[in-house]
Structure 1
Amino acid sequence: MIRVLLVDDDALVRAGLKLMLRGADDIEVVGEVEDGAGVPVAVRRHTPDVVLMDIRMPVVDGIAATRALAGSGTAPKVIVLTTFGADSTVLAAIRAGATGYLLKHTEPEEIVEAVRRAGNGEPSLSPAAMRALIGQVADGDESRRQRASNRLAVLTERERDIAAALADGLNNTEIGQRLHLSVGTVKSHLSGALAKLDLDNRTQLALLAHDAKVR
């Protein structure tokens, strides 16, 4: 079973999500929290695999709550919920460690599938969503580009190639086709790059490659 924690200050949203997820026989909603302030305690109590996290909450928002969870070896996957699409707030949540995002009006079957992917350790951000997110990132200043380049310097040439492909919004199969590698080899290089950079997910690596203008 994929254990899910719901975090949203709107009780009706939580009820709707619970109703959607109850229809899946491999997903269990193990807890609910109405603000980001209660997330650390709820995660310790319920040990969820996936957290569906609202971005905008009155006390501790979803970005701060996601950042508090990131970096832990047992941290659950976080999918942020928003009504605004790929805006700067979503970008901040991804940089904080969220593995993907969903619009609150997303079709129920898509929400269920995103939870399944996250729970199974697969990317929960589609290539199309990745491209939309990357498209929201401004070129930024020279200092940010240099910082990103310095971080990526620890990667091998092949790992940098994969980072660049991620920034182009490619999935593992497409990366393998571009670089003439098996999907298993792509996954291995990707895992190595994330470990070297102490990143939580492929989306963060894609954004870092974009910042560094890796091509």
Structure 2
Amino acid sequence: MQWLVDARLVHKIYRSTAPGLPVAAYDDLSAFKIYMVDVGLLRRLAQLAPTAFGEGNRLFTEFKGALTENFVLQALITQFEVVPRYWSQNNPPYEVDFLIQRENDIFPVEVKSQANTASKSLKKFKELFQDRVKLRVRFSLDNLKLDDDMLNIPLFMAGQADRLMGLALGQRRAEEGGHGCGGGAGWHE
């Protein structure tokens, strides 16, 4: 396994026990997920035809979002200095797909490949770590939208996550300071 990581063929994403800084200090080294460095390689290993990405929701239903998660991770790794982690708890079971360390903040991230964008795990994460969560991020098929502390980023804009998160944080700060337009103006249709 380590050879694949060292050869930069896969990313090893550790489970984080808490959203603290630096995020690496909270790594559970016994729990990790493996992702391909490129979603195209994953497609090839899964023996999917090159046209498979054009199949839309049928493809994502069959693979339960594995390709989508890999796609988003591929975009996140290029934008942030610290490799993302993931968070989970067992009883009851909740899992946040990624934790991103951006400057001195930790952001929980959920990836949704289907029309249902309910994020029970993001909600639970906010309940548990309310004082540490400035913004929750969801990647989905929905449009770009900032709704309170939930930023929805369309999957096709995953490569702009850092910039969009910065804009959303600025908007939230302005609203909290009484200078905002209210309701996330400019973020939805």
Question: 1 or 2, which has the higher helix percentage?
Answer: 1
TM-score, normalised via structure 2 length: 0.42
Question: 1 or 2, which has the higher strand percentage?
Answer: 2
